[in-house]
Chains A and B, each alone.
Chain A
Amino acid sequence: DQQVKQNSPSLSVQEGRISILNCDYTNSMFDYFLWYKKYPAEGPTFLISISSIKDKNEDGRFTVFLNKSAKHLSLHIVPSQPGDSAVYFCAASAKSNFGNEKLTFGTGTRLTIIP
């Protein structure tokens, strides 16, 4: 059962335009969401996160939006740059007593920025 879904395996965007990556989840216990970026031959790198008490979090060119009622989040990158070409993973976690919860990842979206 895929609890975190990224339905677009790939996305191509012109340099300078907005990239929008989408993610859906099914587990209503998830209350913390993250986006990771992965270049070939490297491990995923944390990009941005959002708690379920918020509906938006912004960090420079990156903004994550959370729609709890739709169980949907999206990552906006604007303006898109060639260095943004990578695989983007959405991840979610549910609160536990321990504080460091396991992350449930989506299957990733390969973003290609066209110069």
Chain B
Amino acid sequence: DSGVTQTPKHLITATGQRVTLRCSPRSGDLSVYWYQQSLDQGLQFLIQYYNGEERAKGNILERFSAQQFPDLHSELNLSSLELGDSALYFCASSVSGALRGEQYFGPGTRLTVT
């Protein structure tokens, strides 16, 4: 158990809808990262938050947005969903100043868009 929790585990929704994925980082971790893993693909970095502020952006679509709240949990909002958004979405966390690059991953949320 990495200490990172993600809810829900599974989500099935229709095209055009909007969903929110939630992540609680390990206790004490200030950074939260979101990744997308599509079928047969590696993990694609979406966005990073550090202590409530956006820190880095990757290949995140404009239809997607995220935020990190004062209690450090984070939410990833996906809107106007398309079939191609079906994927595993992972959240990871790390401590500022910890071993560089070492991130702790949650179990993921599997999103299916029908």
| B102 and A49 form a contact (CB under 8 A) | yes
CA distance A89 to B100 in the complex (A): 17
CB pair A46 B103 closer than 8 Å: yes
CB within 8 Å of B: which A1-43 residues: 4, 6, 32, 34, 36, 41-43
- B1 CB to nearest chain A CB (Å): 10
> Do B101 and A32 have beta carbons less than 8 Å apart?
yes
Please, which residue of chain A has its CB at the minimum distance from the CB of B46?
A102
Q: Which of B40, B43, B50, B92 has the most CB of A within 10 A?
A: B43
Residues of chain A within 8 A (CB-CB) of B35 are 105
How many of chain A's residues touch chain B, expressed as a range? 20 to 34
Q: Which of A57-83 contact B (CB under 8 A)?
A: none
Q: How far does the alpha carbon of A110 sit from the alpha carbon of B74 in the complex, in Å?
A: 30
Please measure, in the bound complex, the distance between the C-alpha atom of A106 and the C-alpha atom of B41, giving whole angstroms.
8
A85 at the interface (CB under 8 A from B): no
A residues engaging B (CB < 8 A)? 4, 6, 32, 34, 36, 41-46, 49, 51, 89, 91, 93, 96, 98-108
Q: Which residues of B are in contact with A by a Cβ distance under 8 Å?
A: 2, 4, 31, 33, 35, 40-45, 48, 50, 55-56, 58, 90, 92, 94, 96-108
